[in-house]
Amino acid sequence: MNAMNERISEIGVVPVIKLNHPERDAALLGKALCAGGVPIAEITFRAAGADKAIRLMKEANPEMLVGAGTVTNTAQIDAVIAAGGEFIVTPGFDPELVAYAQAKNIPIFPGCTTATDYHQALKFGLEVLKFFPAEQSGGLAKIKALAAPFPMFRIMPTGGISLKNLKEYFACPVIAACGGSYMVTADLIDNNRWDEITAICKETRRIVEEARA
């Protein structure tokens, strides 16, 4: 895998974040994630100002890997790049967006849940694919089934991932990392429960390391 994919795989989990108040929360949330051993964030465009949140989080926590999720058009890719974002995640496989991101030299992880999606990803030379929504699309059983004809891919399942099933996913060798929002829920962020976020991240890292041992 390339350097970006290796780094994401080393961390093992990607917090998927909807940030409603970037100016208030981005910097502090980044610090809480880093303190928990999870120096990475996928800021989604499900809330306005995602590009601003990316910039603020990265400026306050330069050691972090910060990118964007729920990217659905090329203008958002441009905004992410301008904000200093380092990767793009899309809900589904859009060849136009993949080609555009690659032309702009920013890593992209498209949502792929079918053999057709995997075929398209193969043509673009991708290494790591987002599997979304994971649990609703067949979960680990489907990921394993698709790995048989497509052993070249590493997978980042997102959707329905929690502390309860994290170890089960990481027992599968094709898993590069897991995306999740359980450590960055609206309740935790809006109520400034930074210590709890850090504690959940630490528990996440413990599970990941135990599963990989």
Which positions are catalytic? 42, 130
| Best CA proximity match to 86, nearest among 41, 130, 28 | 41
Find the DSSP H helices in the chain.
Answer: 3-11, 22-35, 50-60, 74-82, 95-103, 115-123, 139-147, 166-170, 186-190, 194-212
Amino acid symbol at 158: T
- Beta-bridge partners for 88: 68, 108
What gap in Å lies between CA 156 and CA 37, rounded to an integer? 18
- Amino acid letter at 82? A
How many of the other CB atoms lie within 10 Å of CB of 2?
A: 9
Cis peptide leading into 133, omega within 30 of 0?
yes
Query: Whole-angstrom Cα distance, residue 188 to residue 78?
Result: 30
Cα separations in angstroms, 163 against 108, 167, 179, 183, 200: 26, 8, 12, 9, 9
